[in-house]
Amino acid sequence: MTPDLQPPLCSGCRQAATLVPKITRFRRGDRVMPFEGFLWQCPISCRDPADGTAPYRFSTFELMRWEEERAAHEWTERFGEPMPPSQRARLPRDQRTVRLPILLTRAEAERLDRLRGDRSRADFIRGLIEASAHRAD
């Protein structure tokens, strides 16, 4: 089953992306369920702005939400129970459940990478959010 979503435009060539299959493995405890999901792919093989690989493949919030809903449905069919929540983050802090796809220009991504040093992009952005919250208090 493929998602019925409006194709986004490639950030490089501005042409409508196409869906390509990918396998994701959902692990809950000792159970693993392979799931055929999808990624959007540039139709003319633009390079990924982050690492230069071609063709450029990416996801969107809508596609991630579709995949999570379908995977939960397939889990229920396969195991006869709802998919348990992920156990990755067992720290006593709030679970991260909100995905935030963001498109940057090549210059913005390069500046972000210079500023973040050896931290991941996600950790760096979380740090900026945390720092701005302290300034607002």
For 60-82, write each residue's pLDDT tens digit: 989 989 999 999 999 999 999 99
CA geometry: angle 18, 20, 21, nearest 5 deg? 155
Q: Phi, psi (5° rounding) for residue 26?
A: -95, 120
Q: Are residues 62 and 122 in the same domain?
A: no
- Three-class secondary structure of residue 23 per DSSP: strand
- 27 and 56 co-located in one domain: yes
| Residue 96 lies inside a defined structural domain of this protein | no
Structural domain boundaries enclosing 131: 104-137
Task: Note the pTM of the prediction, 2 decimals.
Answer: 0.62
Structurally, how many domains does the chain consist of? Answer: 2
The answer to the question of residue 60 being in a domain is yes
Tens digit of each residue's pLDDT (9 = 90 or more) over 15-61 = 999 999 999 888 888 889 999 999 999 999 898 887 788 899 998 98
Residues 13 and 77 in one domain: yes
